[in-house]
A and B are shown apart, each in its own frame.
Chain A
C-alpha cells in the first residue's frame, strides 16, 4: 500500500499484490478498491494485481472539485509508470467501466485486454439514481455514521446479505461533496471512444436487479456489441447487476481467468510493452 502524488497535488492510494501478468482492478466510485475484497484472494494467485482508489473516495484524497474521468485515468497511468508496468489487463465494474474504457482508448499501447460492465455514458436511470443519492446525502450526510450509507446501499440495489457490508464501506469511503463531485464527473459520454478500442474485450454483467443487464442503467453492453462486435459477453445468472464481483467471486474469477488465459502477454511485451496487435 502506498500513495502517489498527482500533478495537482492530491494523494492517490494504490496497492500492488500477487505475481503474474499485471491486472488493474477498478471498482465503482463508492466502493472503489473495496469492490474487490472477495475477488482478490482468487486473483492475486495468478496476477500482479494493481488496486487504486479513484480520487474523491476511499483512501485517496477527497477533493470537492478537480475530479474528472480524465484525471482518474491519468492518476492510474502515473501509478503504472511508477510501478514500471508497461502493459496491463484492465478489469472494471460498475462505473469503474468509464475509467477503464477511457484508459484503453487513451493509452492503448499499455492496455492488453479490457473487462468491464459496459457503462460508457450516463444513462437516464443513472442520472435519476444520482439525484436520489444526492438527496440522501443532503438529508443524512455520509461518513457520519447516520443512515446515509445504509440508504445509499439500498438505493443502489445491494443484495440483502451484503447490504450492511456495503453500507459500512460507504461510511468509510465517502464524503458528501466529493461524492457529488464524482457523480458530476461521471456524467460523460464516451461513445466515440468505443470505436477506438481494438484490444480483446469482455463485458461481465449480472442479469437481474435495478442494475441488471436489461435495465437502462446497465444497457451499455448493447452499444458495445454494435461498435465492438468482437466483444465477448458473459451474463451471470442470478446475480444482481454489478454486484456479481461481491456475490459470485468464484464464478467471476473462473470466467476472467479463462478469458485472460486466452490473451496472455508475450514475455517481451510484459517486460517492455513492445507488443503490437
Chain B
C-alpha cells in the first residue's frame, strides 16, 4: 500500500500484490478497491493485481471538486508509471467501467485486454438514482454514523446478505460533498470511445436485480456489443448486476481468468 501525489497535488492510494500479468481492478465509485475484497484472493494467485481508489473516495483524497473521469484515468496512468508497469489488463465493474473504457481509448499502448460492466454513459435510471443518493447525502450525510450509508446501500440494490458489509464500507469510504462531486463527474458520454477499443474485451454482468443486465442501469453492454462486435460476454446467472464480483467471486474468477489467460502480456 502506498500513495502517489497527482499533478494537482491530491494523494491517490494504490496497492500492488501477487505475481503474473499486471491486472488493474477498478471498483465502483462508492466501494472503490473494497469492491474486490472477495475476488482478490482468487486473482492474486494468477496476476500482479493493482488496486487503486478513485479520487473522491476511500483512502485517496476526497476533494469536493476537481473530479473527472479524465482525472481518474490520469491518476491511474501515474500509478502505472510509478510502479513501472508498461502494459496491464483492466477489469472494472459498476461505474469503474467508465475508467476502463476511457483509459483503453486514451492509452491503447498501455492496455492489454479489458473486462467491464458496459457502463459508458449516464443512463436515465442511474441519473435518477444519483439524485436520490444526493438527497440521502443532504438529509443524513454519510461517514458520520448516521443512516445515510444504510440508505445508499439500499438504493443501489446490494443483495441483503452483504448489506451490512457494504454499509460499513460506505461509512469508511464516503464523504457527502465528494460523493456528489464523483456523481457529477460520471455525467459523461463515452460512446465516442467505444469504436476506438481494438483490443480483446469481455463484458461481465449479472442477470438479475435492478442493476442487472436488462435494466436501464445495466444496459450499457448493448451499445458496447453494437460498436465493438468482437466483444465477448459472460453473464453470471442469479447475480445482481454489478455485485457479481462480491456475491459470486468463484464464478467470476473462472470467467475472467479464462479470458485474460487467452491474452497474455508477458510470455
Contacts and interface: CB of A to CB of B under 8 A. Distances in A.
Interface stretch (B78-86, B149-157, B182-190): B149-157
B19 interface: no
Nearest to A147: B210
A221 interface: no
Contact of A128 (B131, B140, B155): B140
Contacts, number: 36
A147 B125 contact: yes
A147 B151 CA distance: 16
Chain B residues touching A, range: 10 to 19
B127 to A, nearest CB: 8
Contact of B150 (A135, A136, A210): A210
A154 B131 contact: no
Contacts of A210: 147, 150-151
A236 B210 CA distance: 32
Nearest to B210: A147
A139 B150 CA distance: 20
B198 interface: no
Contacts of A132: 132, 135-136, 139, 151
B155 A154 contact: yes
Overall SS of chain A's interface: helix
Contact of B154 (A135, A139, A154): A154
Contacts of A136: 132
A139 B132 contact: yes
Interface string B114-143: 000000000001001101100110011000
A200 B140 CA distance: 37
Chain A, interface size category, equals 10 to 19
A84 interface: no
B125 A151 contact: no
Interface string A30-65: 000000000000000000000000000000000000
B128 A131 contact: no
Nearest to A150: B210
Contacts of A255: none
Contacts of B160: 160
Contacts of B128: 139-140
A274 interface: no
Contacts of A154: 154-155
Interface in A132-190: 132, 135-136, 139-140, 147, 150-151, 154-155, 157, 160
A125 interface: yes
Contacts of B129: 139
Contact of B147 (A125, A139, A160): A125
B266 to A, nearest CB: 46
B154 A155 contact: yes
Interface of A: 125, 128-129, 131-132, 135-136, 139-140, 147, 150-151, 154-155, 157, 160, 210, 215
11 contacts: A129-B139, A132-B132, A135-B132, A136-B132, A139-B128, A139-B132, A150-B210, A155-B151, A155-B155, A210-B150, A215-B147
